[in-house]
């Protein structure tokens, strides 16, 4: 299949006792901090409300983006399992509202900011690279090693001829050009 990043795959395998592995890294959909009632990060007031995804792998990702922008500080070692309970410093007393990821774009009218998954931003007509106040650093090792969407296959099938042909097609210049032209930075080829 081809719809998840490595952390999601690892969680899926753990939850379901499956043995699915990464065959190739293909693209990345940046998380962005989008304006709701507040139109810039500098305008955030004490007690402002920020919505974030409530699922394990994406909540941590959203919190790490807020931390990268200097809005919060997470406890040492919180990493990829961080939740709101791992916020060590919150100088503006921001209220972090956990919502189902699909609801984040709908929350924009009710919150100051929302940290939105790239795929849901795209579905709502938003582009993280042009519409967001801040996005993740696509060149960071954290992104490259954990949040790039991958082609996943049953363990042991990674080198099957058909899988290798699919990888070759997905990593072609034609696909790279299509992604760049169609998504204008909202989806980024990682090959």
Q: How confident is the model at residue 57 (pLDDT cuts 50, 70, 90)?
A: confident
Q: Does domain 32-135 have CATH number 3.40.190.10?
A: yes
Rounded to two decimals, what is the model's pTM?
0.89
Residues 67-76, mean pLDDT to the nearest whole number: 98
Dihedral in degrees, nearest 10, Cα atoms 154, 156, 157, 159: 140
Say whether pLDDT at 148 is over 90.
yes
For the chain, give every residue range classified as CATH 3.40.190.10.
4-29+142-189, 32-135
How much is the pLDDT for 138? 87
How large a percentage of the chain has pLDDT more than 70? 100
Cβ atoms within 10 Å of 45's Cβ, excluding its own: 10
pLDDT at position 60 is 95
In CATH, 4-29+142-189 is 3.40.630.30 = no
* Res 3: pLDDT: 87
Question: Is the CB of residue 30 less than 8 Å from the CB of residue 128?
Answer: yes
- State the average pLDDT over residues 131-149: 93
* Parallel/antiparallel/unpaired status of strands 87-89 and 113-116: unpaired
pLDDT over 90 (residue 169): yes
CA-based torsion, 150, 155, 156, 161: positive or negative: negative
């Amino acid at each position: 299949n081809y719809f998840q990043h490595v952390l999601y795959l690892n969680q899926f395998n753990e939850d379901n006792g499956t043995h699915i592995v990464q065959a190739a890294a293909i693209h990345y959909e940046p998380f962005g901090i989008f304006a709701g009632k507040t139109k810039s990060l500098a305008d955030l007031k004490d007690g402002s409300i920020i919505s974030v995804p409530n699922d394990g792998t994406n909540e941590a990702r959203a919190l790490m983006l807020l931390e990268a922008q200097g809005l919060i500080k997470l406890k040492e070692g919180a990493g990829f399992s961080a939740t709101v309970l791992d916020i060590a410093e919150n100088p503006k007393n921001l209220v972090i509202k956990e919502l189902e990821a699909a609801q984040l774009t709908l929350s924009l009218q009710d919150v100051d900011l929302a940290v939105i998954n790239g795929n849901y931003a795209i579905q709502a007509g938003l582009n993280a690279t042009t519409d967001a106040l801040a996005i993740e650093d696509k060149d960071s090792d954290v992104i490259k090693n954990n949040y790039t969407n991958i082609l996943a296959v049953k363990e042991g099938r990674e080198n099957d001829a058909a899988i290798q042909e699919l990888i070759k097609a997905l990593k072609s210049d034609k696909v790279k050009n299509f992604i760049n032209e169609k998504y204008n930075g909202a989806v980024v080829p990682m090959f």
